[in-house]
Amino acid sequence: MYGAEAVILNLSRTLNEAGHSSMLGVFANAKNLNLQLHETAIAEGIESHIIPCSGQFDRAAMAKLRELVIQTNADIVHAHGFKADIYSFLALNNFSIPLVSTCHNWTDTDLAVSIYGKIDRFVLRKYASVIAVSDAVKNRLVKAGVHDEKIHLIKNGIDIRPFQKASPSLRGIVDKEGAPIVGFVGRLSKEKGADVFLRVASRVLEEIPDAKFVLVGEGPERNELELLVDQLAIGKSTFLVGRRTDMPSVYASFDLMVLSSRDEGLPMAVLEGMASGVPWVAAAVGDVPKIIQHQASGLLVPPGDVDSLADGVIGLLRNITERQRLGEGGRRRVQEEFSAERMSSSYLGIYQRALANKDSKKRENKHFVSPGNAK
């Protein structure tokens, strides 16, 4: 359950609350089974269907996707991520149903992912509409040959309600003496910079030895990060707690959060932390400067700058009044600019435009007479 999954749930929830019908199709990958999105959707009362997938090119998965579209009488198919983009295109290319995609970000961290990303950007040229969550993603789409008129920039949005009155859930696990807790939320992968966060923790502990540092999330770099914790000798102050299903309560446990990413789009964790009233010290990467206003709703520093991140954390941990001011500034900004209702309204406009274009093409085809049949 990371940023893209949170967007999907927020979008489905708000569309359903507005009187529309939004259903999920979730790939069940045989080699890496993870049904957390499906299970969370069901628990929230959102209709969700599993699409079994046993390999990189599973014809049965495409057949299941077609069956699901017919069964639900869908008007729009909205794909999230390169796998959904490619499978939806291959399964539904001959259908008249409009395809819409949201591109959250690409992380070409290895050859296989890089190849999938290139195929994805080629396939997206055929989509009715493509939504970018940041200017950086939009620029990559344009460079990949997706027509500019098909690309729309829509800010991620969140349901603010769960974050307003959540009770802390980590205090008993991490700290029993009221020491400050600094949080990291994200996938444990290179682009998210969890290693940078740990080096920041090492620097901060030299000045504030009772501080605690918590990393929430899983990913391919977990083993390397555990080794780095040992190398930095910060094991007594650092906790890798893995995936959590109680994120509002997790955010409520933090006194301060750090974004140490090397690459970003528009991170949901930042929005959720701000909605919880938690101040941020963040690397000014991707669209983060468009969310966090420096010294109004958080602090921005150059990407990869361990010393600047650490200085920001130390300064805020020593000044509770400033933490409260920035936290409240962030909460107000999310309420005004990044609500799920505003996001779903923008998506609904995209859906309606795609359907209108489909109907227009139908009328054009209906009135077309080939020269050989003209009388």
Q: What is the CATH number of the domain that holds 57?
A: 3.40.50.2000
Residues 193/267, Cβ–Cβ less than 8 Å: no
Domain identity same for 252 and 292: yes
Domain identity same for 271 and 177: yes
> What pLDDT shows up at residue 372?
40
From residue 205, how far is each of 44, 110, 252 by CA, in Å?
Answer: 40, 34, 22
- Kindly state whether residue 285 falls inside one of the protein's structural domains: yes
Domain identity same for 297 and 227: yes
What is the model's pTM? 0.73
- How far is residue 254's CA from residue 238's CA, in Å, rounded to a whole number? 13
- Kindly state whether residue 111 falls inside one of the protein's structural domains: yes
Which domain range does residue 237 map to?
A: 163-337
- How far is residue 251's CA from residue 42's CA, in Å, rounded to a whole number? 23
Residue 190 has pLDDT above 80, yes or no: yes
Q: Return contacts of 293-300, CB within 8 angstroms, 24+ apart.
A: 293/329, 293/333, 295/326, 296/326, 296/329, 296/333, 297/326, 297/329, 297/330, 297/332, 297/333, 298/274, 298/326, 298/329, 298/330, 299/326
| Helix segments in 175-319, DSSP class H | 194-207, 222-232, 247-253, 268-275, 288-291, 306-317
Q: What is the per-residue burial (b if ≥16 Cβ within 10 Å, else e) of 242-257? A: eeeeebbbbbbbbbbb
Residue 130 phi/psi, 5-degree rounding, is: -130, 125
Domain identity same for 313 and 204: yes
Both tokens assigned to 215: 């990393």
Residue 195 has pLDDT above 80, yes or no: yes
- Confidence class of residue 369 from pLDDT cuts 50, 70 and 90? very low
- How far is residue 114's CA from residue 101's CA, in Å, rounded to a whole number? 19
- Confidence class of residue 119 from pLDDT cuts 50, 70 and 90? confident
Closest CA to 102 of 69, 124, 73: 124
Residues contacting 12, CB < 8 A, separation 6+: 22, 23, 24, 41, 46
Domain identity same for 116 and 211: no
Most confident of 131-145, 246-260, 263-277: 246-260
- How far is residue 375's CA from residue 208's CA, in Å, rounded to a whole number? 88
Domain identity same for 218 and 201: yes
Residue 81 has pLDDT above 50, yes or no: yes
Domain identity same for 290 and 265: yes
- How far is residue 98's CA from residue 128's CA, in Å, rounded to a whole number? 6
DSSP 8-state secondary structure symbol assigned to residue 124? G
What percent of the chain lies above the pLDDT cut of 90? 70
For the chain, the domain total comes to 2
Q: Residues 341-365: what's their mean pLDDT?
A: 84
Domain identity same for 39 and 11: yes
Q: Is the pLDDT higher at 273 or at 139? A: 273
Q: What is the largest CA-CA distance in the chain?
A: 90
Around Cβ 360, how many Cβ atoms within 10 Å? Answer: 10
Residue type, 346: S
- Kindly state whether residue 373 falls inside one of the protein's structural domains: no
Residues 315/295, Cβ–Cβ less than 8 Å: no
Domain identity same for 267 and 348: no
- Kindly state whether residue 147 falls inside one of the protein's structural domains: yes
From residue 92, how far is each of 86, 96, 353 by CA, in Å?
Answer: 10, 8, 19
| Strand partners for 242 | 216
Residue 373 has pLDDT above 50, yes or no: no
- Kindly state whether residue 247 falls inside one of the protein's structural domains: yes
Closest CA to 194 of 181, 179, 183: 183
- Kindly state whether residue 187 falls inside one of the protein's structural domains: yes
- Kindly state whether residue 314 falls inside one of the protein's structural domains: yes
Find the range with the poorest average confidence among 191-195, 229-233, 339-343.
339-343
Find the range with the poorest average confidence among 28-32, 57-61, 266-270, 364-368.
364-368
What would the DSSP string read from start to end of 137-161?
A: HHHHHHHTT--GGGEEE----B--G
Domain identity same for 55 and 20: yes
Domain identity same for 233 and 333: yes
Most confident of 44-48, 56-60, 265-269: 44-48
Place of tokens 């050989």: 372
Element housing 25 (H / E): strand 24-29
> What pLDDT shows up at residue 359?
72
Q: Is the pLDDT higher at 63 or at 115? A: 63
Mean pLDDT of the chain: 90
Domain identity same for 45 and 122: yes
- Kindly state whether residue 372 falls inside one of the protein's structural domains: no
